[in-house]
Chain A
Amino acid sequence: MRTFITAILTGLLYSAVQPVFSVIRLAPLPTVNSQSILKEYEPMARYLSSAIGERIEIAYYADYRQVVTALRDGDVQLAVLGPLPYAMARREQRAITPLVRFLESNGEEFYTCTLFVRRESSIREISSFKDLNISLPQKMSTCGYFAAEGILRSYSLSIKQNRFFYAGSHSNVILSVLLAESEAGVVKTSIFRQYIHHGLVPLAESKPYPGFVLASLEHGLLETQKDKIIRALTVLNPRTNLRDKKLMASWSPELRYGAIRANPEDYTPMEAAVLALGEIE
Chain B
Amino acid sequence: MKGLRRFYIGVPLLTQILVPVIMLGMLVFAVGIKTVQSALEKQIHENFLTVLENFGSELKYQIVSDYRTLFLHTGTDLKRFDSASRAEKSEALANFGTKINSTKYKGSVLQGDRILYSNTEIPGALLEKARKNKESVFIFQNYFVYHYHFYPWDWDILVFHDNTSSNAVIHKNAVTVGGIIFLLLAGITFFLTWILQRVVKSPIKTLLENLKKIEREQYDYISLDSSREFGRLAAGINHMSQVIESREKQILSEKQKVQEIMDTQSSIVILSTGSEILHANQAFFRFFHEFSSLEDFKRRHSCICDYFERVDDPEYVYKKEQENWIEITAKSLHPKKAIIKRGDKTYTFNVVANYLYSDAEDFLNVVTLTDITELEEYRRKLEESRDNLVHQLYTDSLTGLPNRLALLKELENMERSALAILNIDSFQEINDFFGTKIGDKLLRDLGERVGQHLTKVPGAKLYKLSSDEYAVHFSEIKELSGLNDALATVSEFMNEQVYNAAGNEIRMSLSAGGSLENNAHDLFTHADIALKLAREYHSSFRVYDESQKSIERYQQNIELTHQLKKAIEENRIILYFQPIVSLDNPDAIKHEVLVRLVAENGDIIGPDEFLEVAKRIHIYDRITEIVLTASINYFRNQPGSFTINISGEDIFNHRVRDMIIRKVRDSGIADKIIFELTESEEIKKYEEVDEFIRTVKAFGARIAIDDFGSGYSNFQHILNLRVDFLKIDGSLIQSILKDKGSLALVETIVAFAKKAGIATVAEYIDSLELFNKAKDLGINFVQGFFISRPTASTVK
Chain A nearest CB: distance from B155 CB in Å? 12
Contact partner of B78 (CB less than 8 A), chosen from A118, A175, A179, A197, is: A197
In the assembled complex, B64 has its CB within 8 A of some CB on chain A: yes
Contact status of A180 and B76, CB under 8 A, knowing A175-B68, A175-B71: no
Q: How far is the CA of A120 from the CA of B76 in the complex (A)?
A: 21
Binding site of B, secondary structure by majority: helix, strand, loop or mixed?
Answer: helix
Interface string of B124-141 (1 = CB under 8 A from A): 000000000001000000
When the two chains form their complex, are residues B151 and A180 in contact, meaning their CB atoms are under 8 A apart? yes
Is the pair B76, A179 in contact by a Cβ cutoff of 8 Å? no
Near B by CB (< 8 A), chain A positions 21-76 give none
Are B151 and A179 within 8 A (Cβ)? yes
Q: Are A178 and B75 in contact (CB under 8 A)?
A: no
Contact of A180 with B149 in the complex, beta carbons under 8 Å: yes
Q: Report B108-163 residues with CB < 8 Å from chain A CB.
A: 135, 149-152, 154
**Bound-state Cα–Cα, A197 to B71, Å:** 13
- Residues 168-181 of chain A, each 1 if its beta carbon lies under 8 Å from chain B, else 0: 00010001001110
Cα separation A131 to B393 with both chains bound (whole Å): 92
**B residues in contact with A120, CB < 8 Å:** 151, 154
Interface centre among B75, B78, B135, B151 (most CB of A within 10 A): B151
A195 within 8 A of B: yes
A179 near B152 with CB under 8 A, answer yes
- Cβ of B67 < 8 Å from any Cβ of A? yes
B768 interfacial contact with A, CB 8 Å: no
Distance in angstroms from B78 CB to nearest chain A CB is 5
Minimum CB–CB distance for A11 against chain B, Å: 54
For B149, give the chain A residue with the smallest CB separation.
A180
* Pairwise interchain contact A195-B152, C-beta atoms closer than 8 A: no
A178 to B135, CA, bound (A): 15
Which A residue's beta carbon lies closest to that of B150? A179
Which chain B residue has the least Cβ–Cβ distance from A171? B72
A194 touches B64 (CB 8 A): no
Which range contains the number of B residues in contact with the other chain? 10 to 19
Considering the chains assembled together, what is the distance between the CA atoms of A118 and B149 in angstroms? 14
- A239 is an interface residue with CB less than 8 A from chain B: no
**Residue from the list A171, A178, A194, A197 in contact with B151, Cβ < 8 A:** A178
> Smallest distance from the beta carbon of A117 to chain B beta carbons, Å?
11
Please, which residues of chain A bring their CB within 8 A of the CB of B150? 179
A206 CB → nearest B CB, Å: 21
Complex: chain B residue closest to A191, CB-CB: B76
Task: Decide yes or no: A195 and B76 within 8 Å by CB, A178-B71, A179-B64 being known contacts.
Answer: yes
Q: Mark A187-214, 1 if CB is under 8 A from B, else 0.
A: 0000100110111000000000000000
Residue of A nearest to B148 (CB): A180
Chain B, residue nearest A195 (CB): B76
Closest Cβ neighbor of A176 among chain B residues? B68
Interface extent on A, as a size class? Answer: 10 to 19
Q: A118-B151, A120-B151, A198-B152 are in contact. Are A179 and B72 (CB under 8 A)?
A: no
Task: Give A128-163 as 1s and 0s: 1 = Cβ < 8 Å from B's Cβ atoms.
Answer: 000000000000000000000000000000000000
Q: Taking chain A's interface residues, is the majority helix, strand, or loop, or is none over half, making it mixed?
A: helix
Contact indicator B68/A194 (Cβ below 8 Å): no
Q: Contact: A178 with B152, CB < 8 Å? A: yes
Contact with A along B581-611 (1 / 0, CB 8 A): 0000000000000000000000000000000
B76 contacts which chain A residues (CB < 8 A)?
191, 194-195
Q: How far is the CA of A171 from the CA of B72 in the complex (A)?
A: 7
Q: Which listed residue (A175, A180, A191, A194) contacts B72, Cβ 8 A?
A: A175
Q: How far is the CA of A3 from the CA of B365 in the complex (A)?
A: 136
Q: How far is the CB of A182 from chain B (nearest CB, A)?
A: 11
Interface centre among A118, A120, A180, A194 (most CB of B within 10 A): A180
Q: Name the distance in Å between B89's Cβ and chain A's nearest Cβ.
A: 15
Q: Hey, which chain A residues are within 8 Å of B64, CB to CB? A: 179
Complex CA–CA separation, A274 to B152 (angstroms) = 36
- Tell me which of B67, B76, B154 has the highest count of chain A C-beta atoms within 10 A of its own C-beta: B76
| Complex interface: chain B residues within 8 A of A180 (CB) | 135, 149, 151
Could you tell me the distance between the alpha carbons of A118 and B71 in the complex, rounded to whole angstroms? 15
Known: A171-B75, A194-B76, A195-B76. A179 touches B67 (CB 8 A): yes
- Once bound together, how far apart are the Cα atoms of A135 and B107, in whole Å? 32
Residue numbers in A under 8 Å from B154 (CB-CB): 120
- When distances are taken between beta carbons in the complex, the residues of chain A under 8 Å from B151 are 118, 120, 178-180, 199
A-B contact pairs, 13 of them (CB 8 A): A120-B154, A171-B75, A175-B68, A178-B152, A179-B67, A179-B150, A179-B151, A179-B152, A180-B151, A191-B76, A198-B152, A199-B151, A199-B152
> Which residues does B use to contact A, with CB under 8 Å?
64, 67-68, 71-72, 75-76, 78, 135, 149-152, 154
The 10 closest A-B pairs by CB, nearest first: A194-B76, A180-B151, A178-B152, A197-B78, A175-B71, A120-B151, A179-B64, A175-B68, A118-B151, A171-B72
Q: A179-B64, A180-B151 are in contact. List 15 more A-B contacts (CB 8 A).
A: A118-B151, A120-B154, A171-B71, A171-B75, A175-B71, A178-B151, A179-B151, A179-B152, A180-B135, A191-B76, A194-B76, A195-B76, A197-B78, A198-B78, A199-B152
